[in-house]
Amino acid sequence: MRIDILTILPELLDSPLNHSIIKRAQQKGIAEIFVHNIRNYTNYKHRQVDDYAFSGGAGMVLMIEPIDNLITHLKKEREYDEIIYTSPDGELYSQSLANSLSLKNNLMILCGHYKGIDHRIREHLITMEISIGDYVLTGGELAAAIIADSVIRVIPGAISDEQSALTDSFQDGLLAPPVYTRPAEYKGWKAPDILLSGNTKEIEKWLHEQSVERTKKLRPGLI
Q: Nearer to ligand ADE by C-beta: 84 or 158?
A: 84
Q: From the CB of residue 162, how many other CB atoms can be counted at a distance below 10 Å?
A: 11
59 binds ligand ADE (CB under 6 A): no
86 binds ligand ADE (CB under 6 A): yes
Residue ranges in 106-135 that form contacts with ligand ADE under rule CB under 6 A: 112, 131-133, 135
Under rule CB under 6 A, how many of the chain's residues touch ligand ADE? 12
54 binds ligand ADE (CB under 6 A): no
Q: Nearer to ligand ADE by C-beta: 118 or 215?
A: 118
**Smallest distance from ligand ADE to CB 5, Å:** 13
Is the CB of residue 193 less than 8 Å from the CB of residue 64? Answer: no
Q: Nearer to ligand ADE by C-beta: 136 or 196?
A: 136
Spell out the residues 6+ positions from residue 156 whose beta carbon is closer than 8 angstroms to its own.
162
Q: What is the phi/psi pair of residue 175, to 5°?
A: -75, 155
**What DSSP element (H or E) covers 6?**
strand 2-7
Q: Nearer to ligand ADE by C-beta: 135 or 189?
A: 135
Q: Measure the CA–CA gap between 21 and 168, rounded to whole angstroms.
A: 15
Q: Measure the CA–CA gap between 92 and 101, rounded to whole angstroms.
A: 14
7 binds ligand ADE (CB under 6 A): no
- Nearest by Cα to 6 from 130, 131, 114, 109: 109
Which residue ranges make up the site for ligand ADE (CB under 6 A)? Answer: 86-88, 112, 131-133, 135-137, 140, 143
